[in-house]
């Protein structure tokens, strides 16, 4: 996560083994063909975190590439550097600290600039995108992997299907109000993946395209795959800590900033607590079925030449 004033890194909850399963490798290979990355030699991964996204992309390049990852948090940089040893030695990886809004590189430095779940956390995505475009060479490719994290709230699962309409609407209201509060506080918006084509068009980019990940993060007993095991480990850990989107105090801060009341928040948080406990019960009984519904976009474009 990158921002001008880094705050508590609740994103740490998502830097688990589960993150290694966010993308199907064959889907990314298909994207390599659609993007025509055969001439890419230099890559910048903005807000790289622990380097998951950059490492996921590297197999799509048949030619040697030099990838630089940059992140505001030194802790993530140290971890990314340690994990770089697992990458094909044909490629060169390096990591350093820095901000998305003030990249420490010259103009027109990279053939490809990319980010994953970064623009949903910055105060002003256009500021970050303009800086990304500054360091992207003319004709170069920008790829943003950004979600609408509110979308899964309306999908059904083996627990939510039994909730009343009122409770499901309250859960949705919490999500949407928190998103508004997060933006009001200058800390991003979890639905910005929807807006990337608009941002790219407004910045004068060419060949704007948007694709949806084909990864459905589903869970079906007996949860035999490595992806399911990693995901359930993360889910159980968050439930046992009493978290929903984040911890109670931070969620409440977003909800109030978005116009919600403390009384309403306490009521919805109680509903969420019951929902999470039923999730946990079904997980332990090998009964939970989740559809994996999500909107995770890969939005790409080209910087104009000349």
Same structural domain for residues 166 and 276?
Answer: yes
For residue 50, count other CB atoms closer than 10 A to its CB: 24
The domain total for the chain is: 2
Opening angle at CA 126, ends 125 and 132, nearest 5: 90
Which two structure tokens, joined as six digits, stand for 281?
């019960």
Q: 158, exposed or middle or buried, with CB in 10 Å at 0-12, 13-18, 19+?
A: middle
Residue 12: predicted pLDDT: 67
pLDDT in tens, 115-125: 999 999 999 99
Tell me, yes or no, whether 143 and 249 share the same domain. no
Q: Cα separation of 260 and 169, whole Å? A: 14
Whole-number Å distance between alpha carbons of 7 and 209: 32
Q: Does residue 300 share a domain with residue 274?
A: no
User: Are residues 107 and 36 part of one domain?
Assistant: yes
Relative to beta strand 295-302, strand 206-212 is antiparallel
Summarize pLDDT for 258-286 with one digit per residue, the tens: 999 999 999 999 999 999 999 999 999 99
234 and 121 housed in the same domain: no
Domain that holds residue 226: 151-186+219-289
Split at pLDDT 50, 70, 90, the class of 1 is very low
* 198 shares its domain with 88: yes
Measured CA to CA, the distance from residue 84 to residue 89 in angstroms comes to 9
pLDDT in tens, 16-63: 888 989 999 999 999 999 999 999 999 999 999 999 999 999 999 999
Helix (H) / strand (E) containing 300: strand 295-302
The CATH number given to whatever domain includes residue 201 is 3.40.50.150
Check: pTM over 0.85? Answer yes or no. Answer: yes
Q: What pairs with residue 142 in β-bridges? A: 113, 301
The confidence band for 11, taking pLDDT boundaries of 50, 70 and 90, is low
The pLDDT value given to residue 13 = 65
298, 215 Cβ separation under 8 angstroms = no
Q: Assess whether 167 and 277 both reside in one domain.
A: yes
> Does the structure show a pLDDT above 50 at 168?
yes
Residue 5: per-residue pLDDT: 40
Residues 52 and 110 in one domain: yes
DSSP state of 4: S
Same domain membership, residue 93 and residue 112 = yes
d(C-alpha 199, C-alpha 9), whole Å: 26
* Contacts (Cβ under 8 Å, ≥6 apart) of 63: 38, 40, 41
Q: Taking residues 227-244, report their average pLDDT.
A: 91
Question: Does 202 lie in the same domain as 224?
Answer: no
The pLDDT confidence band at residue 4, using thresholds 50, 70 and 90, is very low
Tens of pLDDT, residues 65-119: 999 999 999 999 999 999 998 888 999 999 999 999 999 999 999 999 999 999 9
- Could you tell me the CA-to-CA distances from 243 to 41, 64, 85, 234 in Å, in that order? 42, 42, 33, 11
Residues 69, 180 within the same domain: no
- Quote the pLDDT of residue 9: 52
Q: Do 223 and 259 share a domain, yes or no?
A: yes
Report the alpha-carbon distance of residue 155 to residue 293 in Å, rounded: 6
Is the pLDDT confidence value at 151 over 60?
yes
């Amino acid at each position: 996560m990158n921002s001008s004033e880094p705050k508590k890194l609740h994103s740490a909850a998502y830097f688990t083994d589960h993150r290694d399963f966010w993308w199907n490798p064959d889907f990314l290979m298909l994207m390599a063909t659609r993007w025509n990355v055969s001439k890419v030699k230099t890559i910048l991964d903005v807000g790289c975190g622990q380097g998951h996204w950059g490492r996921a992309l590297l197999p799509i390049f048949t030619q040697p590439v030099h990838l630089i990852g940059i992140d505001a948090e030194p802790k993530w940089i140290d971890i990314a550097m340690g994990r770089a040893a697992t990458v094909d030695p044909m490629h060169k990886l390096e990591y350093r600290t820095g901000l998305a809004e003030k990249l420490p590189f010259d103009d027109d430095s990279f053939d490809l600039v990319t980010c994953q779940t970064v623009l949903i956390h910055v105060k002003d995505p256009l500021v970050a995108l303009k800086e990304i475009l500054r360091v992207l060479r003319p004709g170069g490719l920008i790829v943003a992997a950004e979600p609408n994290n509110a979308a899964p709230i309306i999908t059904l699962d083996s627990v939510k299907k039994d909730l009343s309409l009122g409770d499901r609407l309250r859960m949705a209201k919490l999500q949407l109000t928190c998103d508004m509060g997060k933006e009001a506080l200058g800390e991003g918006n979890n639905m910005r993946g929807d807006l990337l084509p608009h941002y790219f068009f407004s910045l004068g980019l060419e060949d704007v395209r948007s694709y949806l990940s084909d990864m459905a993060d589903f869970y079906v007993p007996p949860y035999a795959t490595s992806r399911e095991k990693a995901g359930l480990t993360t889910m159980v850990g968050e439930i046992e800590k009493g978290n929903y989107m984040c911890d109670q105090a931070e969620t409440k801060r977003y909800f109030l900033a978005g116009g919600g009341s403390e009384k309403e928040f306490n009521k919805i948080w109680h509903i969420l607590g019951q929902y999470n406990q039923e999730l946990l019960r079904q997980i332990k009984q090998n009964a939970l079925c989740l559809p994996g519904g999500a909107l995770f976009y890969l939005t790409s474009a080209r910087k104009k030449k000349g």
